[in-house]
Amino acid sequence: MQIYLPIAEVSVNAFLLLGLGGLVGILSGMFGVGGGFLMTPLLFFIGIPPAVAVATEANQIVASSFSGVLAHLRRKTVDLRMGTVLLIGGLVGAALGVVVFNYLKSLGQVDLLVKLCYVVFLGIIGGMMFVESLRAIRNTRSGKAPKRKKHNWVHGLPFKMRFRTSGLYISVIPPLIVGVCVGILAAIMGVGGGFIMVPAMIYLLGMPTKVVVGTSLFQIIFVTGFTTMLHATTNYTVDVALAVLLLIGGVVGAQVGTRIGTRMKAEQLRILLAMMVLAVCAKLALDLLIMPSELYSIGAVGGH
């Protein structure tokens, strides 16, 4: 069934969109990532204009993350306090990121920078997670107890706060810094930042994996909600019809994903996420290295 999208001005298959939404929704529920870094390239691929794809994607992530958070809230695996601290940092970072983005845009080549950012960050994060989870799996097999609670410099900082759900008593400075950094990157790269936030929470803040997913989704709702409003009011590129089709698939997928996620071991979850991140990274790197079949591209005037 073909549907004509009023803002994107293209006609696409409705079932294809439902399917894509569902697939990305499952990943979102399982790993606590918004799925923007997967969905946006897929939307480009089926012919949605990039500007519309990025803006609408943000709207769809609001829906799937909200659906996911509700499922996690019921399981009490959302650290609201930690989420709020991260969110405050995130919004500050997003504002900074927009400034950085506009500066780079004035220099040109912002496209390239975004892609390089993706490749570098996805590569580092994916690689680190992959190695770490492999080691963790090997350790549990050989019967060694995992040592999670390390006492390092992070615990020496002032402004300590108790995060009961995460079982942490740490300073608010590291989560704030993580929030700001992720916010900056999210604004530059045009994504919710879940795939950076999740590893940062696990490895830098030492939060338990089960809590990480829900908490990440919690703060993604606000970041992407903010982005949606920004795009809708400045660029007029949010396509409600496209968003509805994607999010119907997405919210159902998120519910399914959350259930799959709770049945799996934390290490398995992390290694799967690592593999997915590495796969996307490899795809983007290949795009930069292999000669494209069409050297020319058409864009709107003034767009990037």
Partner 1 sequence: MLRLVLILCLAALPLKAEEVVLGLSADEVAITATFDGSELLVFGAVKREAPIPDEPLEVIVAIAGPSVPLTVRRKEKKLGIWVNTDAVEVKEAPSFYAVATTGPLKEVLAQIEDLRHRITIPKAIRLVGASPHVSNPQSFSQAVIRIRKKNNTYQLLEGGVVLDQQTLFRTSIKLPSNLTEGAYATRIFLTRNGYVVSQYETTIDVRKVGLERWLYNLSREQPMLYGLMSLAIAIAAGWGAAAAFQFLRRG
Task: Kindly state whether residue 238 participates in binding partner 1, applying the rule CB under 8 A.
Answer: yes
Residues 46/298/41/202 CA torsion (nearest 10 deg): -160
Residue type, 61: I
State which residue, 263 or 294, has the beta carbon closest to partner 1: 294
Element holding 89 (H helix, E strand) = helix 80-107
Task: Kindly state whether residue 244 participates in binding partner 1, applying the rule CB under 8 A.
Answer: yes
Task: Kindly state whether residue 289 participates in binding partner 1, applying the rule CB under 8 A.
Answer: yes
State which residue, 131 or 240, has the beta carbon closest to partner 1: 240
State which residue, 8 or 188, has the beta carbon closest to partner 1: 8
Residue selected from 15, 74, 131, 264 as contacting partner 1 according to rule CB under 8 A: 74
Closest by Cα among 172, 200, 169, 157 to 84 = 172
Question: Tokens for 296?
Answer: 């020319």
Buried b / exposed e across 263-296, counting CB within 10 Å, b at 16+? eeebbebbbbbbebbbebbeebbeeeeeeeeeee
Over the window 85 to 124, marking each residue x when it contacts partner 1 by CB under 8 A and - when it does not, the resulting string is: ------------------------x-xx------------
Shortest Å distance, C-beta 144 to partner 1: 37
State which residue, 251 or 274, has the beta carbon closest to partner 1: 251
Task: Kindly state whether residue 80 participates in binding partner 1, applying the rule CB under 8 A.
Answer: no
Task: Kindly state whether residue 166 participates in binding partner 1, applying the rule CB under 8 A.
Answer: no
Instruction: State the number of binding residues for partner 1 (CB under 8 A).
Output: 61
Strands (E), 154-213: 160-163, 168-171
Site for partner 1 in 248-287 (CB under 8 A): 248, 251-252, 254-255, 287
Residues 1 and 13: beta-carbon distance below 8 Å: yes
Question: Tokens for 140?
Answer: 């549990």
Work out the burial of residue 104: count CB atoms within 10 Å of its CB; fewer than 13 is exposed, 13-18 middle, 19 or more buried. Answer: middle
Shortest Å distance, C-beta 228 to partner 1: 6
CA distance 157 to 173: 8
Positions touching partner 1 (CB under 8 A) are 1-4, 6-7, 9-11, 47, 59-60, 62-71, 74, 109, 111-112, 225, 228-229, 231-234, 236, 238, 240-241, 243-244, 247-248, 251-252, 254-255, 287-292, 294-303
